[in-house]
């Protein structure tokens, strides 16, 4: 099943700089329900993501602060798709088949 959302890219700085985008809460609630019993460490969910012409496998991570999931955007993808902080991105993703 394919899901989509549009969101703004933001930066988290700590020992390194990480770029993320946050899923809308209503969609996060649906993903939470669909992945009950299949989530991995830290409540992460494996996904295949497409932004622009780039597709890759990664994980969504539950974010208690926003009550949603966050999607990390690795440098390779940001470079290929010319994504910077504050950019609006259209995200398509699929969940693995849990059957």
pLDDT digits (tens, 9 = 90+) for 25-78: 999 999 988 887 665 666 789 999 999 999 999 999 999 899 999 999 999 999
Q: What is the pLDDT of residue 16?
A: 72
| Burial of 23 (C-beta count, 10 Å sphere; 0-12/13-18/19+) | buried
pLDDT for residue 41 = 60
pLDDT digits (tens, 9 = 90+) for 52-64: 999 999 999 999 8
The domain containing residue 29 runs over which residues? 2-94
- 99 pLDDT above the threshold of 50: no
Q: Are 62 and 23 in contact (CB under 8 A)?
A: no
Nearest Cα to Cα of residue 7 among 18, 21, 27, 19: 21
- For the chain, the domain total comes to 1
DSSP 3-state of 39: coil
pTM of the model: 0.86
Identify the pLDDT of residue 11. Answer: 95
Classify burial at 72, counting beta carbons within 10 Å of its beta carbon; exposed 0-12, middle 13-18, buried 19 or more: middle
User: Does the residue 99 lie in any domain?
Assistant: no
Q: Residue 85: which CATH number?
A: 2.40.30.100
């Amino acid at each position: 099943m394919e899901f989509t959302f549009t969101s703004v890219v933001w930066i988290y700085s700590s020992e390194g700089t990480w770029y993320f985008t946050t899923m809308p809460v209503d969609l996060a609630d649906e993903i939470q329900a669909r992945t009950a019993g299949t989530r991995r460490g830290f409540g992460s969910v494996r996904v295949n993501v497409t932004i622009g012409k780039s597709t890759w496998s990664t994980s969504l991570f539950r974010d208690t602060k926003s009550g949603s999931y966050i999607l990390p955007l690795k440098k390779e993808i940001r470079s290929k798709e010319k994504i910077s902080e504050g950019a609006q991105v259209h995200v398509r993703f699929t969940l693995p088949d849990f059957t």
